[in-house]
Amino acid sequence: MEKRKLRSQAWFGGNDKDGFIHRSWMRNQGFPGDVFDGRPVIGICNTWSELTPCNAHFRELAQRVKNGLWEAGGFPLEFPVTSLGETNIRPTAAMFRNLVSMDVEESIRANPIDAVVLLCGCDKTTPSLVMGAASCDVPTIVLSGGPMLNGHYRGQTIGSGTVVWRFSEAVKAGTMSQQEFMDAESCMSRSAGHCMTMGTASTMACMVESLGLSLPGNAAIPAVDSRRKVLAQETGRRIVAMVHEDLRISKILTREAFQNAIRACAAIGGSTNAVIHLIAFAGRVGVPLTLDDWDKYGRDVHTILDIQPAGRFLMEEFYYAGGLPAVLWKLAQVGQLDEGALTANGKTIGENVKDAPNWDSNVIREYENPLVESGGIAVLRGNLCPDGAVLKPSAASPRLMRHRGRAVVFESIEEYKARIDDPNLAVDETSVLVLKNCGPRGYPGMAEVGNMGLPPKLLARGITDMVRISDARMSGTAYGTVVLHVCPEAALGGPLALVREGDWIELDVEARRLHLDVDEVELARRRTEWIEPEPAFKSGYQSLYVKHVMQADKGADFDFLLGCRGHEVPRESH
Ligand code: FES
């Protein structure tokens, strides 16, 4: 193949003062002179951080990638970007996703980088890195950190997050002691890796694999399995070839790839957070993708992966059963995969997954024997959510999919926490819990608080699910009949802001309808009384975020970050 002059040569290829500057300082790291000879310079974008426990093993993975890169004739340069640890960052990691995407985009463009390997793991680290790379349009390959090993507690397998919601409600219901709850802590997270349920991290790892952004098999290999290290080395080898082939990310992120990912999300019972992230990816590469596409392409797809929170198993069993290629092959066999979509290894996705074996049909079920028939994310419309809302049917209770109940309203998550334990709270199992002001602008950052825990007095009676509605998100590890991402959000004056205690609300998932049973005249009157909440911050990043974040149906990206700005070499620095 003809050797093209790469962008890194604009830094390293000259014999003048600037070339001297760019090379000389780099040589203080002990690089021999011939690494500047025009070979592909590959950035390894690393989200390692001890504050991001899910990505804390990434230093070794980066080294494995480098081994592959050197082998294939590349010049690896690892660089850090802000890491987002879902469990530590407040007010919510999602508020920083767009910020990190800017960090990634500007780091790539400003430096002598021809292509990138993205090391992703914890929830927001995957979308933020993909969004940044997409806006540069350089050859890009994703290596996920892999899930943790299964949690084990007193003879039972327990899954990240999912068990936290379940056990904390058991404590409230009086069926689990505080000591037992504390004992479970170390049993849940017992190896390196990200959440091993089909939470947002595992979902996004499956999304990048089904989009074609990683090598086949990337999503499910456990973090501590030696085959994850092999994959890292192969990923390093492959990105060098991608540079020679000019296989840029825009050639992979096509509309067909997004349709495949939406179907895959339905088949695996993936997180509702994928809706927001994929729409944001599409926005960066100029591919039209709407909320309605999620219903259009996902609705008829069966959920065939029996994994928590929707099902029983965890990522470890998913890997042993065959991983995502086995699921994608089943989709291909029923005509639910566009097999022609190009992937990072230069082959089509159809070629990659052809005849992928399924070793355990308890875990990856036969398509004719699904966990849930209509597994996609349901996109709801109605006077309560004119611009849409989402619900994950595979994690909801069939008996509540059509429901009419009276609203119990919380103006903020703090008000919810203050009132929910009150034995005198006027609530029963037919009530609908409504939470406001937790959307992109309202929280800010659209926190994962939509799966409000149930009132203890109902838990004690054995009630395990209720209809809940908010403009928030929920953790991919969570479950319940939970309506999320209501648009426009309450803080923007959407109809959610006008709901009052005791209003009747109707949910009909089959009809995709969410209705506030209050007449237009009364709603108009309430609107005149609505006062826009004052933003908490008048300066700094939070004020920028609130000013520019778009609504959930638009991917909650910043309005000024839409589109691809390319990778033209910037003007010289000295
Ligand atoms: Fe990091 Fe779940 S908290 S993946």
Sign of CA dihedral 118, 121, 125, 130: positive
Ligand 1 proximity of 120 Cβ (cutoff 6 Å) = no
Instruction: Say how many C-beta atoms besides its own lie within 10 A of residue 374's C-beta.
Output: 17
Quick check: bond before 444 cis, omega within 30? Answer: yes
What pLDDT shows up at residue 538? 86
What does pTM read for this prediction?
0.97
Tell me which of 89, 96, 122 to substitute to probe ligand 1's pocket, judged by most ligand atoms within 8 Å of the beta carbon.
122
Atom of ligand 1 nearest to the CA of 202: 4
CA distance 74 to 421: 59
Nearest to 395 by CA among 136, 203, 236, 115: 203
Q: Give the type of residue at 478.
A: A
Residue with tokens 């973090």: 223
Distance from Cα 506 to the centre of ligand 1, integer Å: 33
Distance from Cα 304 to the centre of ligand 1, integer Å: 23
Ligand 1 proximity of 189 Cβ (cutoff 6 Å) = no
Residue range 32-85, pLDDT digits in tens? 999 999 999 999 999 999 999 999 999 999 999 999 999 999 999 999 999 999
Residue range 528-547, pLDDT digits in tens? 999 998 888 889 999 999 99
Ligand 1 proximity of 93 Cβ (cutoff 6 Å) = no
Cα atoms in the Cβ-side hemisphere of radius 13 Å centred on 153:
18
Do 249 and 285 form a contact (C-beta atoms < 8 A)? yes
Nearest to 256 by CA among 141, 175, 336: 336
Do 82 and 96 form a contact (C-beta atoms < 8 A)? yes
Nearest to 46 by CA among 82, 74, 75, 70: 82
Sign of CA dihedral 133, 134, 137, 143: positive
Structure tokens at 398: 């069939």
CA distance 231 to 217: 8
Distance from Cα 87 to the centre of ligand 1, integer Å: 7
Distance from Cα 194 to the centre of ligand 1, integer Å: 5
Ligand 1 proximity of 86 Cβ (cutoff 6 Å) = yes
Q: Which residues contact 176 (CB under 8 A, 6 or more apart)?
A: 167, 170
Ligand 1 proximity of 123 Cβ (cutoff 6 Å) = yes
Of all protein residues, whose CA lies closest to atom 3 belonging to ligand 1? 86
What pLDDT shows up at residue 2? 53
Which residues of the chain are modeled with pLDDT < 50?
A: 1
CA distance 448 to 453: 12
Of all protein residues, whose CA lies closest to atom 2 belonging to ligand 1? 195
Nearest to 195 by CA among 148, 151, 228: 148
Q: Give the type of residue at 314.
A: L
**Quick check: helix, strand or coil at residue 46?**
strand
Distance from Cα 340 to the centre of ligand 1, integer Å: 32
Sign of CA dihedral 338, 342, 343, 349: positive
Tell me which of 54, 273, 475 to substitute to probe ligand 1's pocket, judged by most ligand atoms within 8 Å of the beta carbon.
54
Cα atoms in the Cβ-side hemisphere of radius 13 Å centred on 450:
34
Ligand 1 proximity of 54 Cβ (cutoff 6 Å) = yes
**357 secondary structure, DSSP code:** -
Q: Any idea of the CA torsion for 354, 355, 356, 360, to the nearest 10 degrees?
A: 150
Q: What is the CA radius of gyration of the chain?
A: 24
Buried b (16+ CB within 10 A) or exposed e, 173-190: beebeeeeeeebeeebbe
Ligand 1 proximity of 122 Cβ (cutoff 6 Å) = yes
Ligand 1 proximity of 194 Cβ (cutoff 6 Å) = yes
Structure tokens at 141: 């390959």
What pLDDT shows up at residue 537? 84
The counts of H helices and E strands in the chain are 20, 14
Atom of ligand 1 nearest to the CA of 123: 4
Distance from Cα 309 to the centre of ligand 1, integer Å: 14
Beta bridge partners of 77: 43
Q: Any idea of the CA torsion for 380, 385, 386, 390, to the nearest 10 degrees?
A: -30
What pLDDT shows up at residue 536? 81
Structure tokens at 532: 């826009």
User: How far apart, in Å, are the Cα atoms of 328 and each of 96, 103, 347, 350, 361?
Assistant: 32, 33, 15, 8, 14
Residue with tokens 């470890």: 316
Tell me which of 48, 87, 96 to substitute to probe ligand 1's pocket, judged by most ligand atoms within 8 Å of the beta carbon.
87
- What angle (nearest 5°) sits at the alpha carbon of residue 71, between those of residues 207 and 75? 80
What pLDDT shows up at residue 297? 97
Ligand 1 proximity of 339 Cβ (cutoff 6 Å) = no
Q: How big is the chain, counted in residues? A: 574
Instruction: Say how many C-beta atoms besides its own lie within 10 A of residue 25's C-beta.
Output: 9
The DSSP line for 157-168 is EE-TTHHHHHHH
What pLDDT shows up at residue 476? 86
CA distance 97 to 91: 12
What pLDDT shows up at residue 120? 97
CA distance 132 to 500: 41
Atom of ligand 1 nearest to the CA of 160: 2
Residue with tokens 């957070």: 273
Distance from Cα 424 to the centre of ligand 1, integer Å: 36
Q: For 402, phi and psi rounded to 5 degrees?
A: -130, 115
Tell me which of 195, 273, 477 to substitute to probe ligand 1's pocket, judged by most ligand atoms within 8 Å of the beta carbon.
195
Of all protein residues, whose CA lies closest to atom 1 belonging to ligand 1? 122
Q: For 121, phi and psi rounded to 5 degrees?
A: -160, -85
Do 283 and 554 form a contact (C-beta atoms < 8 A)? yes
